Amino acid sequence: MKSEILTLLREQDGYISGQELCDRFGVSRTAVWKAIKQLKESGYDIEAVPNKGYHLAGQKDVLTQNEIESRMNTKWIGKEVYYKDITASTNLDVKKLLEDGAKEGVLVVGGQQTQGRGRRGRSWQSPPDTNIYMSLGLRPDYQPDLAPMVTLIQALAVAKAVQEVCDLQVEIKWPNDVVIHGRKICGILTEMSAETGYIQYVVIGTGINVNIREFPEDIRTTATSLCMEKQETVLRAPIIAKTMEYFENYYEKFLKTGDLSLLLDDYNQILVNCNTEVRVLDPQHEFQGIARGIDNLGQLIVEKEDKTIEKVYAGEVSVRGVYGYV
């Protein structure tokens, strides 16, 4: 009920009466009062005025299960949401939930991670109550070799969500780094449990720099956050909900075709590498060329100096711009 009350309070320009809430949910005035009291204790600024009712006075960066649920506008993604103030890893949490029978689309959000990881086992900085740490669980019925494409889908979803919620120009550095002004704001780690020709589950872990203002020295010149770009505190829950909304839409398109063909235009439009010179750092052979976007499988199309085309698979190499990180 608390999630629904939050939604109603946001939709009201003025006040909503206690009796209206009682009628809406079929509960007593005492039950409504208790729910409002608990929401206030969670950090919400809710005004209670006699003969008028309740009013949500201000927007604060409150992150709770009720807050996330109240903003979710999806069909099946994120219908089962868990929030933890502190956790070792949201990816580990989702794996356990899936192994215990959780439905596809289960979402875990953490206020802080103590064992956050990035690609290749690198640690991921997870300070408390500042950023977004979330993991989404899927139960696909496609072949394991298609699973890496969901990482690109999530990158696109994050970029579109941040662009819409924060009104910032957001781009993607192939394959899945989300960047603003050439600096990274998001990391994505996708993990899969599979047997031969069969996927048990896929977990997509996402970390977004939201309200962090200081970075370790080794990434200070390549990372940024939404609050640093906006010069104000940014609400995390709307970004989570909007990311899930975009992901659901893009993922369903992917399921229809089994590739990224229906997402190419959206992805390539914000691909910072597109039509720029890149250096491909392949252990076998390093080469330079012009990136021409991605193909239906998410491979980067690179036109070499001799006009031949080489396709770069996300899992094999990393691409950095010739003139810096982007």
Tens digits of per-residue pLDDT, 199-223? 999 999 999 999 999 888 888 888 9
Token look-up 């896929």 returns 202
Q: Same structural domain for residues 25 and 170?
A: no
Q: Same structural domain for residues 202 and 285?
A: no
- Give me the pLDDT at residue 117, please: 62
pLDDT, mean of residues 60-89: 94
Q: Same structural domain for residues 235 and 124?
A: yes
User: How do beta strands 318-321 and 277-281 pair?
Assistant: antiparallel
* Residue 321 pLDDT greater than 50, yes or no: yes
How far apart are the C-alpha atoms of 17 and 150, rounded to whole Å?
44
Q: Same structural domain for residues 244 and 131?
A: yes
- Beta-strand ranges (E) seen in the chain are 46-49, 53-56, 81-84, 107-110, 132-138, 171-173, 177-180, 183-195, 198-208, 277-281, 287-294, 300-304, 309-312, 318-321
Token look-up 């990035």 returns 118
Work out how many domains the chain is built from and give that number: 3
How far apart are the C-alpha atoms of 246 and 100, rounded to whole Å?
27
Q: What is the DSSP letter of 119?
A: G
Q: What is the DSSP letter of 16?
A: B
Q: Same structural domain for residues 284 and 317?
A: yes
Q: From the centroid of its chain, how far is CA 77?
A: 12
Q: Same structural domain for residues 85 and 228?
A: yes
List, in sequence order, every residue forming a beta bridge with 173; answer none if it has no partner. 177
* Residue 72 pLDDT greater than 80, yes or no: yes
Q: Are 259 and 251 in contact (CB under 8 A)?
A: no
Could you tell me what percent of the chain has a pLDDT over 90? 63
In a domain, 326, yes or no: no
156-197 pLDDT, tens digit each: 999 999 999 999 999 999 999 999 998 999 999 999 999 888
Range of the structural domain that residue 52 is part of: 2-56
Q: Same structural domain for residues 76 and 196?
A: yes
* Residue 323 pLDDT greater than 50, yes or no: no
Q: Same structural domain for residues 206 and 124?
A: yes
- Would you place residue 42 in the very low, low, confident or very high pLDDT band (cuts 50, 70, 90)? confident
Q: Same structural domain for residues 168 and 44?
A: no
CATH number at residue 216: 3.30.930.10
How far apart are the C-alpha atoms of 9 and 2, rounded to whole Å?
10
- Give me the pLDDT at residue 132, please: 96
- Would you place residue 94 in the very low, low, confident or very high pLDDT band (cuts 50, 70, 90)? very high
Q: Are 203 and 94 in contact (CB under 8 A)?
A: yes
Q: From the centroid of its chain, how far is CA 64?
A: 16
List, in sequence order, every residue forming a beta bridge with 172; answer none if it has no partner. 178, 271
What mean pLDDT value characterizes the chain? Answer: 90
Q: Are 216 and 126 in contact (CB under 8 A)?
A: no
In a domain, 223, yes or no: yes
Q: Same structural domain for residues 153 and 289?
A: no
Residue 183's identity, in one-letter code, is R
How far apart are the C-alpha atoms of 312 and 281, rounded to whole Å?
10
How far apart are the C-alpha atoms of 245 and 79, rounded to whole Å?
11
Distant-in-sequence contacts of 110-115, Cβ < 8 A, 24+ apart: 110/83, 110/84, 110/85, 110/86, 110/134, 111/63, 111/83, 111/84, 111/85, 111/86, 112/85, 112/86, 112/87, 113/86, 113/87, 113/88, 113/89, 114/86, 114/87, 114/88, 114/89, 115/88, 115/89
How far apart are the C-alpha atoms of 202 and 255, rounded to whole Å?
14
Q: Same structural domain for residues 52 and 144?
A: no
How far apart are the C-alpha atoms of 47 and 53, rounded to whole Å?
8
